[in-house]
Each structure stands twice: as structure tokens, then as C-alpha cells.
Amino acid sequence: MKLKIAALSAALLLTLSGCAKAQTAWVTDYDEAKDAAAKGKKDLLVVFTGSDWNDPSKELITSVFTEEFFARGTKDYVLCNVDIVQNQELMSAEQSEKNYKVASDFGVQALPYLVLLTSEGDMYASAAPGDDAKTVEGFYAYLDTFGEAKTKLSGLKKQIASSKGTERAKNIDTFVEAVDPSQRQRYSEMIREIPGLDPDNAEGLKEKYLLQIAYLDAVDLYQQGKLVEAGDCFLALADGGQLNPAHAQEAYYMGAYMNAMSGQTDNDKVIAWLEKAIAADPENPGSEQIRGTIEQIKAQAVTIPSPEAAE
């Protein structure tokens, strides 16, 4: 009897796991939707709306996001709605804050807005739906126009998985260049591989990505309010002698900029780093702009006090 019950339970589990339940409503938590897409090996459609204040969002909710919409889309997509509401009684403060962060992470500046991601979380489209997407048929036809972008990005990702050494470095570079710049922070781990895959800079990728890694580190520090440390990421790299003249100039400039923004570094130091930026690549067109910046700082005739002087 126990064996029969065990066999019946196993069969039931297989049946349940093999039949994904069709969506009849939005998943309203982005992380839950992302997990569901990964498990179900489906693309993820994220639609950002302002349901209680944004008229174009209200129009889509009425004319497109119907029972037919969910019935049609559930086969290919996990359907997620990230609603940016003004009436805080409509959702918890925690969920509202989370939705704002997701919108910020995807660079959403106008509503409604949509984002398409593969089941692996790679964004292959982001756009505001136009007039052609104001019916269920038109909306899905609009999504179909991004099929080529998905195929390209997925193909590049597969090439990375099947390559090693400098070939892998080149494939990562091609993939990163194809990714929307706003999403590159998501591929930090992959980007950090490249200098080690091209240690002699044979493909010219080591120095390019040393600078990219400095940007990644600086962004993390900037978000923590550590602007001096963010600037030091660039200055240490610029002083290391591993960059070509143009990249060295960029690194010195960014280091000077971050330090100036901090309000903790005096102008003489900032000017010294800007002069190093010019010296790194004097014929670069950017050098003339840096000279102008130096003159502007000098013209202010104000020295930003160091923390010690302020005390």
C-alpha cells in the first residue's frame, strides 16, 4: 500500500510540475516575475504604468490589458506590471518603493513603458508603446518587432558560454557592446573577467576593460556617497601606466571630477590632475576643453577647504 501511495504521489508531482498555470492577471512583483520567467523558461514582459494618474496608462489598461491579452500572452511571456502610483493607499509603502527602484534601474522616464527580457534576464528591448500598440493585436505585433534583437543578444550570449581565453574576451566584449548601456552594471562579473583573458592586451581589451572596471567600482562608491574613493579608482588606474593616452586622459579627468564633486579636495589638487590629463594626450580634442575647465577653476579664486582645514 505504501508503495502504491508513493507512486501515486510521484505521478501527481510530475503532472503538476509539467503544467504551468496560465496567467489571468499580472504578476505585480518584479522579483517574483523574474523568478517565474527563469523557472518557466519564458521571456519576461514588464509593463510600467501609472494606473491612478497617467492617462496613456489608463487607456492601455482599458483597451489592451484585457482577458484576451492574458490568454494570448501567457504562452510566451511571464506578464509583469510595475505600477507607479501616486495614491499611496493603493499599495504598501514597501512595494511602492520597490517599484520606483525597478523603474529607475531600467531608466524609465515616461509612462507607459515596456521592457522585454529573456528567461536569463537579458534585456533585449525597452520602449514606450506607440499608437500601433493600442489594441491586443497591435500590442503583440509590436512585441514581435523585437524578435531579431532577442535572437542577436541570445546568440552572442551562447558564444560566450562556448569559448575560452582571448576568444571568450572578444565574445564578452561584443555582447557588452550590444547590451543597453544602462544595463551594463548587471554584467559586472563578466566584465571583470576580460583583463585576465587578455593579459598581454593582445586584443586591446585589457586596458579598455580596466577602465570599465574602474567605472563599475566608482559607481558603487558614488552610490555610497564616497566620492573621493570613487575618484581614486580612476587616479590609481591612470597612474598605473596600463592605459593608452586617450584612456589615461579620461581616467585622470574622471578622478579629478569625482574629487571636485566631493567638496573634500582643494582646487590645486584638482587642477594638478587635470594637467596630468592634458599631458597624457595633449593632441586629443578633449585637451582643449580640459584647459578651459582649469581656467574656470582658477577664475573662481576659491579654494575648497580640506576636512583638516575646515576643522
Residue 295 CB-density burial (10 A; 0-12 exposed, 13-18 middle, 19+ buried): exposed
Tell me what pLDDT residue 20 has: 53
Tens-digit pLDDT profile for residues 229-247 = 999 999 999 999 999 999 9
Q: Which sequence spans correspond to the domains of the chain?
A: 19-149, 163-310
Residue 89 has what DSSP assignment? Answer: G
Q: What is the mean pLDDT of the chain?
A: 90
Mean pLDDT of 214-227: 95
Contact of 81 with 108, CB cutoff 8 Å: no
Residues 6+ apart with CB under 8 A from 291: 278
H helix runs in the chain, sequence order = 2-18, 30-40, 55-63, 67-73, 93-105, 136-144, 147-161, 165-178, 188-197, 205-223, 227-239, 245-262, 267-280, 286-300, 307-310
pLDDT at 303 over 50: no
Lowest-confidence region among 10-24, 149-163, 251-265, 285-299:
10-24
Choose the CATH number for 163-310 among 3.40.50.300, 1.25.40.10, 3.40.50.12780, 1.10.10.10.
1.25.40.10
User: Is the model more confident about 115 or about 307?
Assistant: 115
Domains 19-149 and 163-310 equal at CATH topology level: no
For the stretch 65-96, pLDDT in tens is 999 999 999 999 999 999 999 998 999 999 99
- CATH fit for domain 19-149, picks 3.90.76.10, 1.25.40.10, 3.40.30.10, 3.40.225.10: 3.40.30.10
- Residue 83 has φ and ψ, to the nearest 5°, of -95, 125
- Position 301 scores a pLDDT of 54
